[in-house]
A and B are shown apart, each in its own frame.
Chain A
Amino acid sequence: DVKVTQSSRYLVKRTGEKVFLECVQDMDHENMFWYRQDPGLGLRLIYFSYDVKMKEKGDIPEGYSVSREKKERFSLILESASTNQTSMYLCASSFGPSGMGETQYFGPGTRLLVL
C-alpha cells in the first residue's frame, strides 16, 4: 500500500513564525503536491513537484515556498505565517507523468492554526 505521511496532525504557530510542513511518501512516486482545504472553497493546489528539485506553482502559491531535495520528501514552507494561512494542509503523491491524470494518494492532513 502507498503510504503518505505528514509530519504533524495539528500545529499551532504565531503570526510571523516560519513554518515547515513535511510530507514523505514511500512508493517512489515522481509527483508530489501540496493543497490547502478551506470550508466552502474545497481543495486548492499550492505547489507541486514532478521531480527532485523541480517545482511548479499551483493556484495559490503566494506566501508559500516548497523544497524537494529528495524524491520521497516534499516540504511546504510558510516564510512568515499569517492568520489567513490557518487551514488544513494536505499532501499527495502520484506515480509519474503518464499525462492521464493518475490517482493521487493523500496524507492524513495537517491542521494549522496561526494565532
Chain B
Amino acid sequence: KNEVEQSPQNLTAQEGEFITINCSYSVGISALHWLQQHPGGGIVSLFMLSSGKKKHGRLIATINIQEKHSSLHITASHPRDSAVYICAVSRGAQKLVFGQGTRLTINP
C-alpha cells in the first residue's frame, strides 16, 4: 500500500462545478503539499500546510491531522483548472513522498 493515496484518480466535471480531491496518508508528517502539473510537465506548488485550512483564490486546502486526511477544493471550476493535482507529504526531512496524482478535466 502506498504511503500517500489520492482519490479519485481521474475526475471530469463541467465548468462551474465544485471540485474535491482527497488525499490520505499513513505516516506521521511534518507538512502536506498540494502541487499542480499542467500538460507539458511543469509542476507548481499550490499549498503547504501542517494544520487547518488555507485558501488562495478559488482553491482551498484542508488537513485533518488526526484522521491523516487532506482535501483540495476548487470552487467555480474553469477549463484552465484542468491539470494533474498531486498530494505529497514530508516527514521532517527534506524529502517528499508523493501520491500518484488526480487527473482533473473541466469541460466548458
Give A residues with C-beta under 8 Å from B: 31, 33, 40-45, 48, 50, 58, 88, 90, 92, 94, 97, 99-109, 111
Contact = CB atoms under 8 A, between A and B. Distances in A.
B91 A90 contact: no
B100 A42 contact: yes
A42 B94 contact: no
Nearest to B45: A103
A104 B50 CA distance: 15
Interface in B66-108: 86, 88-96, 98-101
A101 B94 contact: yes
A107 to B, nearest CB: 8
Interface of B: 29-31, 33, 35, 40-45, 48, 50, 86, 88-96, 98-101
A101 B91 contact: yes
B94 A111 contact: no
B52 to A, nearest CB: 15
A104 B31 contact: no
Given A43-B98, A100-B92, 15 more contacts: A41-B100, A42-B101, A58-B95, A92-B43, A99-B93, A100-B31, A100-B50, A101-B30, A101-B89, A103-B48, A104-B33, A104-B96, A106-B35, A106-B44, A108-B40
